[in-house]
Amino acid sequence: MPFDVKETVLPGVGKRYELYLDANRSIAILVRSSGERQVYFREHPDEDYEEQYALTDSQARTLGLFLVGAY
């Protein structure tokens, strides 16, 4: 199943990565320059993202290990 990813540089903030799950839903990860990660979700492209949770750099790395099955 193909999917789209969009990367946006946010000067002075960090980078935002958007993963489009289907025609409506998407997840955004904001990787701040400080190392903190904020996870956002939206149900429809016309809606604003809603923050789901924030992770420290270490927490984000551990979650990544879970997601790729390496933990």
DSSP for 4-59, please give it.
EEEEEEETTTEEEEEEE-SSS-EEEEEEETTS-EEEEEESSTTSPPEEEEEE-HHH
**What pLDDT score was predicted for residue 60?**
92
* CA-CA-CA-CA torsion sign (48, 51, 52, 55): positive
For the cut 80, the answer to whether the pLDDT of residue 67 exceeds it is yes
Q: What is the mean pLDDT of residues 39-63?
A: 94
Q: Which band of pLDDT confidence, cut at 50, 70 and 90, is reported for residue 15?
A: very high
The DSSP output letter for 68 is T
- Residue that wins the pLDDT comparison between 24 and 3: 24
Dist. CA 30–CA 52, nearest whole Å: 12
* Residue 35 in this model has a pLDDT that exceeds 80: yes
Q: What is the pLDDT of residue 2?
A: 60
Q: Average pLDDT in the 55-69 region?
A: 92
Delimit the domains of the chain by residue range. Answer: 4-67
CA distance 34 to 36: 6
